[in-house]
């Protein structure tokens, strides 16, 4: 009985579900950031604009890095 | 032997003359260079004049210079100015926020022919981005405003949130705001219309997962007209340009582009027709 209570205790806190939900949302954001990156690269093939295109690819890449970092941090902290 | 035939005075005079000789030679050396420069200037002027006569007003001064320099290279067989041309080409790319760029350099599209030159790059006027820019600013500052209000009213959160968790939530919030801004920007950025010396190209990019590229040859365009209406359109000088093509009832719409009357004039020159302004 005591062991079951210990296992169930984290789920009694409503914040746990919110935290799990946030982690799942961040995971979806990581996937979405990959889609954005892919689309930017495709559009750069359609219309290539020298330096400007490179800047956009770089920004989308930084976005992916931040998203992954946030996902990993969220798993650890939340 | 030579000294024996001349007196000392004659030798001195000859030495003096000899000392002046280099100046004379330098002057002679300079003259052909100056002549070459003058001839080049004349050629450039003649070429610019011919460009104007052939109705290539769409080319800006830089393009004229490049074209003229190319001609000079062809005539003289030298490649001294080719480096300058390359530099000029690179230094004139369409900027990140350009909505109207004549003869853009460093710009290519997927199905561009080798001898095809892009004459005009068009996007919606940047002022049309105001709604999402305004909303983004509000979203960016709203956490600070909320925190400020909570401090003023001295209302604490109902649930206690740890500072590390709060950091994650706020970071995630700002990433979403950033994604919203970035998607709106690239939607504007990749919605490009191009006018080349051969074709009319319309690249439509929507909702990140959809894009459509349509193009038509310039000789298939039957009529071009533009509409400039509303307060913002008149104030900021943007409007819609419509180009109708022959055969299939395909119409190219350039929505909210800057300087629509100039675009219509350029298209007129290229297709050799007349326009209707509303």
Interface ipTM? 0.85
Asked if A23 has any chain B CB less than 8 Å from its own CB, the reply is: no
Q: Which residues of A touch B209 (CB under 8 A)?
A: 35, 39
CA distance B196 to chain A (A): 13
Place A68 in a pLDDT band, splitting at 50, 70 and 90.
Answer: very high
Residue B199 or residue B56, greater confidence: B199
Return the structure tokens found at B86: 């390359």
Is pLDDT of B266 > 60? yes
Indicate the range of B19-23, B101-105, B114-118, B166-170 predicted with least confidence: B19-23
Mean pLDDT, chain B, integer: 74
Indicate the range of A7-21, B64-78, B187-201 predicted with least confidence: B64-78
Asked if A46 has any chain B CB less than 8 Å from its own CB, the reply is: yes
Asked if A1 has any chain B CB less than 8 Å from its own CB, the reply is: no
CA distance B96 to chain A (A): 5
Between chains, do B106 and A49 touch, taking CB under 8 Å as contact? yes
Tell me which chain B residue has its CA closest to the CA of residue A55. B96
Report pLDDT digits (tens) over B77-92: 344 334 444 444 444 5
pLDDT given at position B67 = 46
The rounded distance, in Å, linking the Cα atoms of B61 and B116 is 20
Indicate the range of A30-44, B24-38, B256-270 predicted with least confidence: B24-38
Of A33, A49, A77, Cβ closest to residue B165: A77
pLDDT given at position B58 = 43
CA distance B74 to chain A (A): 27
Is pLDDT of B208 > 80? no
pLDDT given at position B17 = 52
Place B3 in a pLDDT band, splitting at 50, 70 and 90.
Answer: very low
Of B94, B168, B182, Cβ closest to residue A73: B168
Is pLDDT of B76 > 50? no
CB contact burial B57-80 (16+ within 10 A = b; e otherwise): ebbeeebbbbbbbeebeeeeeeee
Is pLDDT of A1 > 90? no
Whole-model pTM: value is 0.68
pLDDT given at position B139 = 96
pLDDT given at position A30 = 97
Q: Are strands B275-277 and B221-227 parallel, antiparallel or unpaired?
A: parallel
Of B93, B186, B189, Cβ closest to residue A51: B93
Place B249 in a pLDDT band, splitting at 50, 70 and 90.
Answer: low
Mean pLDDT of B197-220: 85
Mean pLDDT of B34-41: 64
Least Cα distance to A63 among A41, A39, A32 occurs for: A32
Of A42, A50, A74, Cβ closest to residue B168: A74
Is pLDDT of B168 > 70? yes
pLDDT given at position B65 = 44
Q: What is the percentage of chain B residues whose pLDDT exceeds 90? A: 26
Q: What is the percentage of chain A residues whose pLDDT exceeds 70? A: 85
Mean pLDDT of B201-205: 89
* Secondary element (H or E) of residue B193: strand B192-196
Question: Hey, which bits of B44-172 come out as E strands?
Answer: 100-102, 107-109, 118-122
Do A47 and B192 form a contact (C-beta atoms < 8 A)?
Answer: yes
Indicate the range of A8-22, A35-49, B113-127, B167-181 predicted with least confidence: A8-22
Is pLDDT of A47 > 60? yes
Measure Cα distances from B253 to B150, B204, B245, B260, B269 in Å.
49, 11, 11, 11, 19
Mean pLDDT of B244-262: 84
Place B8 in a pLDDT band, splitting at 50, 70 and 90.
Answer: low
Is pLDDT of B64 > 90? no
pLDDT given at position B131 = 95
Between chains, do A29 and B106 touch, taking CB under 8 Å as contact? no
């Amino acid at each position: 009985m005591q062991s079951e209570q210990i296992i169930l205790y984290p789920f009694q806190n409503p914040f746990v579900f919110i935290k799990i939900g946030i982690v799942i949302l961040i995971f979806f954001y990581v996937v979405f950031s990959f889609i954005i990156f892919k689309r930017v690269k495709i559009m750069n093939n359609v219309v290539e604009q020298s330096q400007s295109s490179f800047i956009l690819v770089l920004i989308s890449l930084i976005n992916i890095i931040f998203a992954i970092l946030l996902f990993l941090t969220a798993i650890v902290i939340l | 032997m030579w000294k024996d035939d001349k007196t000392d005075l004659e030798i001195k005079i000859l030495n003096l003359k000899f000392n002046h000789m280099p100046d004379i030679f330098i002057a002679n050396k300079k003259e052909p260079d100056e002549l070459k420069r003058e001839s080049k200037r004349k050629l450039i002027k003649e070429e610019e004049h011919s460009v104007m006569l052939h109705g290539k007003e769409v080319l800006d001064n830089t393009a004229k210079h490049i074209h003229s320099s190319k001609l000079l290279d062809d005539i003289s067989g030298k490649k001294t100015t080719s480096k300058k041309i390359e530099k000029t080409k690179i230094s004139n790319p369409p900027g990140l926020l350009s909505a109207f760029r004549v003869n853009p350099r460093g710009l290519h599209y997927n199905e561009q022919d080798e001898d095809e030159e892009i004459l005009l790059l068009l996007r919606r006027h940047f002022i049309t981005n105001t709604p999402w820019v305004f909303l983004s600013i509000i979203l960016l500052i709203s956490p600070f405003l909320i925190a400020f209000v909570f401090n003023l009213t001295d209302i604490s959160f109902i649930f206690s949130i740890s500072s590390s968790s709060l950091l994650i939530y706020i970071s995630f919030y700002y990433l979403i705001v950033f994604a919203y801004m970035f998607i709106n920007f690239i939607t504007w950025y990749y919605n490009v219309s191009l006018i080349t010396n051969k074709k009319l190209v319309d690249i439509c990019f929507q909702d990140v997962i959809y894009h459509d590229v349509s193009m038509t040859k310039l000789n298939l365009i039957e009529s071009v007209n533009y509409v400039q209406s509303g307060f913002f359109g008149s104030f900021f000088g943007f409007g819609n340009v419509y180009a109708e093509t022959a055969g299939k009832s395909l119409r190219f719409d350039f929505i909210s582009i800057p300087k629509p009357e100039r675009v219509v004039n350029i298209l007129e020159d290229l297709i050799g027709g007349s326009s209707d302004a509303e």
